[in-house]
Amino acid sequence: MLEVAGLSLAYATRRGAVQALQGVSLAIPRGGAMGLVGESGSGKSSLVLALLGLLGKGASLSAERMRFAEDDLRAAAARLRGARIGTVFQDPAGALNPALRVGLQVAEPLMQHRGLAPRAALARAVELLGEMGLPRPAEVADAYPHQLSGGMKQRAVIATALACEPELLLLDEPTTALDVTVEAQILDLLERLRRERGVAMLLVSHNLGIVDRLCEEVTVLYAGRVVEQGPVQALLSAPLHPYTRGLLAALPRADRGGMQRLRPIPGSLPDLTRPDPGCHFRPRCPFAAPGCEAPQALRPAAAPEPGRGERGGDPAGLVRAAGVRRVLCHRAEALAGTPWPAEEAPPAARPPIGGTLLEAEGLAKRFRLGGGVLRLLAPRAEVRAVDGVSLALRRGEVLGLVGESGSGKSTLGRLLLRLLPADAGAIRLEGAPVPAEPGPGFRRRAQIVFQNPDGSLNPRQTVEQALLRPLLRFGIASGAAAEREVDRLLELVRLGPAYRARYPHQMSGGEKQRVAIARALASRPDLLVCDEAVSALDVSVQAAVLNLLEELRDRLGVGYLFISHDIGVVAHIADRIAVMYRGGVVEEGPVEAVLAPPYHPYTQALLSAVPLLGRRERAGARLRLAGDVSTPAPARGCRFAHRCPARLGPVCEEQAPPPRLAGPGHVIACHRPLEELARAPHALLAAE
């Protein structure tokens, strides 16, 4: 169906031509699904644009073959896209035009390629929206994008892509901007489309879990070159190329827990203006040896013996794997038995968790919607972003805070630091009440790291200025001592003194986030709120930052409130987990207790929606939630009742659920008896 061979792509830049893709080959059979994985900068999205013929000016493309069915894509892309090739881009909020009704946007390809009259096309668009599982499709068609939730928007985008019944769908990070429960709904939809319509798919994703779930084959791209290709189960259970192995070793897994440190890939992407004729992963590869500088060819690899792969193989997956495996490494087979090296210094034994550091009681925050001159005349809707939350954090402890977007996680983090004024509730730091407008003493001891270092670092300040400021402000050091302290902080986050003079735009995302962490640590805080601090980072960088955070916890005894939507990351780093839904904590407890039954039904849904590697069969048993976090909830009673698959009856809507002790320090707020909740299957581990 789709066949690409020897595709190379270069972008002209001021620094010379950037070789974004070099000799990429892949083929997808009719009805097949290929995953395309790799970190940012690997050229994934460029490949999608190249296939669509939508490369901008300054891009030069060459290929031995680029065929779609019987057509040459280079000549026919303009005719095929939208008609026989459908595309779903990342971030549905950006992919829909804010000024046009959703129905028209879905109908457009029908009018364009099928010659349908506007009325007929709109009628078909409504049908399509219904087929995508959207309730009240006529109303959705009549709405503007801003009136729909993220999941609804992505369904509308998929409906658009499918309008002309294409034979191939290009999916560019289709679920990246979505919550995990919504992501699971979209994956269900895509899986159904494959089954029912036999659509072929090219799924571009940095998330190996969803590739594993949807695809038969996977292509691993590193800095513009295919480094490994093959059947997905075999490849992920026993990766051959060192880069693939590094990716998997760096990935925190929800089903593995946080017993050991992650193993990040050192270094960063090579300079693509001067591509290395030899193996371009060589500078970062722990197995580099003489011979690696010679040009490598993507060659068929002997399937490794079961059981010899990384962290133990998946024999069942290997037996099923029949496709050809290809790898871009001359030593792949020879290295199959050698494990990915751990970091040189094994982590020091973790000191015991200390006494209570921060306590919050009954914290509440309401946000008023709208405003303006006549505010007094009309009653305004209110959102209870945080609704009576109490929690405690001990010294050297990591409290993970999970929940969908809009559940109030970030607001809670800011309330705890008194960065937002609370409407109610008290906060105590080591027993001493923290006033509504705390002095520098509290600010010094409680710091925050935000998700986006681009937004939190001042673009006009060098790293040195950014780090000196808190040192002087809090009187930690001055003069020469402050200079030494800056070096020490940079060393803490593993950046050399050369970084002192750099501006944010001169650093990569991972480096910037390390500077943000160093800045937060400058005042020697006891408490650090990490608000999605690793969410924007690539897997290998994320692993390095997570390791760093763990190391600092052990060495300095810092307590973390670790806010993340990524269950895998939280399961890896947290000691305790609090699960938030709509402003309230529905379950809280030690990490192993929260991740195992008994579950709050929301926790169960959240965990079972996490795509795990090599666990495709889980999808069938998943606990599915209707709607999303914005679906209106009952005014009284359980905040989750309206979406709860385990609802008991009117009691859920009328009475607030009692917090029940399910184990030591493990609290679940649900009307269902604990014995019943305990009968739920384990959401992460395979049923024995």
Partner 1 sequence: MAGFLARRLASLVFVLWAMTVLVFAVVHLLPGSVAHMILGEYATSAAIAALEERLGLNDPLHLQYWRWFSGLLQGDFGVSLTMDRPAGPVILEALGRSAVLAAISIVLVALAGVALGIHSATHAGSASDRALTLGQYFFIAVPEFFWCILVILFFSVWLGWLPATGYTPLAEGGLLGWAKHLILPVATLVLGLIAHVSRLVRSSMLEALESRYVLAARAKGLPERLVLRRHALPNALMPAITVLAVDVGILIGGIVVVESVFAYPGLGRMLIYAIDNQDLPLMMGGMIVVTAVYALANLAADILYAVVNPRIRVGGAA
- Cβ proximity to partner 1: between 465 and 630 the closer is 630
Closer to partner 1 by CB, 144 or 474: give it: 144
Non-local CB neighbours of 426 within 8 Å, separated by 6+ positions? 360, 361, 362, 433
Of 378 and 635, nearer to partner 1 (C-beta) is: 378
The smaller minimum CB distance to partner 1, of residues 274 and 380, is found at 380
Number of residues in the chain: 688
Closest distance of CB 445 from partner 1, Å: 38
CB of 630 to partner 1, least distance (A): 7
If the CB atoms of residues 113 and 428 are measured against partner 1, the closer one turns out to be 113
Q: How far apart are the first and last CA of the chain?
A: 40
- DSSP class of 81: B
> In this complex, which beta carbon is closest to partner 1, that of residue 84 or of residue 469?
84
Which one-letter DSSP state was computed for residue 377? Answer: T
Cα separation, 543 vs 538, whole angstroms: 8
Phi-psi region of 395 (alpha: psi -120 to 50; beta: other; left: phi over 0): beta
Instruction: Taking each helix axis as running N to C, give the angle between helix 463-473 and helix 509-522, from 0 to 180 degrees, rounded to the nearest 10.
Output: 20
Residues in contact with partner 1 by CB under 8 A are 52, 54, 57, 78-83, 87, 89, 91, 94-101, 108-109, 112-113, 143-144, 146-149, 157, 160, 369-370, 372-374, 378, 630
- CB 93 → partner 1: shortest distance, Å? 9
In a 3-state reduction of DSSP, which class is residue 230?
strand
Q: How far is the CB of 325 from partner 1 (least distance, A)?
A: 32
Tell the smallest beta-carbon distance from residue 95 to partner 1 (Å).
4
| Residue 45: other Cβ atoms inside 10 A | 17
Of 74 and 320, which CB lies nearer to partner 1 in the complex structure?
A: 74
CB 684 within 8 A of CB 255: yes
CB of 209 to partner 1, least distance (A): 24
Say whether 249 sits in a helix, a strand or coil. Answer: helix
Specify burial of residue 470 (Cβ count, 10 A radius: 0-12, 13-18, 19+): buried
Q: Which of 493, 469, 594 is nearest to 544 (CA)?
A: 493
CB of 190 to partner 1, least distance (A): 17
Answer for the pair 416, 360: CB distance below 8 angstroms, yes or no. Answer: yes
**Of 153 and 576, CB closest to partner 1:** 153
CB of 638 to partner 1, least distance (A): 23
Task: Count the Cβ atoms, other than its own, within 10 Å of residue 684.
Answer: 21
> Between residues 99 and 345, which has the closer beta carbon with respect to partner 1?
99
User: Contact 652/620 with Cβ under 8 angstroms?
Assistant: no
Integer CA distances (angstroms), 623 to 132, 424, 586, in order = 19, 35, 17
**178 — phi, psi (to 5°)?**
-105, 155
The DSSP-derived string for 328-359 is S-TTHHHHTTSPPPPPSSPPPPPPPP-SEEEE
CB of 188 to partner 1, least distance (A): 22
DSSP structure string for 480-495:
HHHHHHHHHHHHHTT-
- Name the residue nearer to partner 1 (CB basis): 372 or 658: 372
Contact indicator for 205, 35 with CB cutoff of 8 Å: yes
- 673 by Cβ neighbours in 10 Å (0-12 / 13-18 / 19+) ranks as exposed
Supply the Cα-derived Rg of the chain in whole angstroms. Answer: 26
Closest CB to partner 1 among 54 and 319?
54
Task: Work out how close the CB of 185 gets to partner 1 at its nearest, in angstroms, rounded to a whole number.
Answer: 17
Structure tokens at 331: 């030593």
* Closer by beta carbon to partner 1, 109 or else 230: 109
Contacts of 62 (CB under 8 A, 6+ apart): 6, 7, 8, 9
Minimum CB distance to partner 1, residue 382 (Å): 13
Residue 11 or residue 442: which is nearer to partner 1 going by CB? 11
Q: Which is nearer to partner 1, 82 or 317 (CB)?
A: 82
Smallest distance, partner 1 to C-beta of residue 478, A = 45
**Quick check: 544 and 264 in contact, CB under 8 A?**
yes
Shortest separation between residue 143's beta carbon and partner 1, angstroms = 7
Are the C-beta atoms of 219 and 34 separated by less than 8 Å?
A: yes
Match 């891009």 to its residue by tokens: 59
φ/ψ of residue 500, rounded to 5? -55, -40
Cα–Cα distance for residue pair 516/38, rounded to 1 Å: 25
CB of 644 to partner 1, least distance (A): 21
Name the 3-class secondary structure at 624: coil
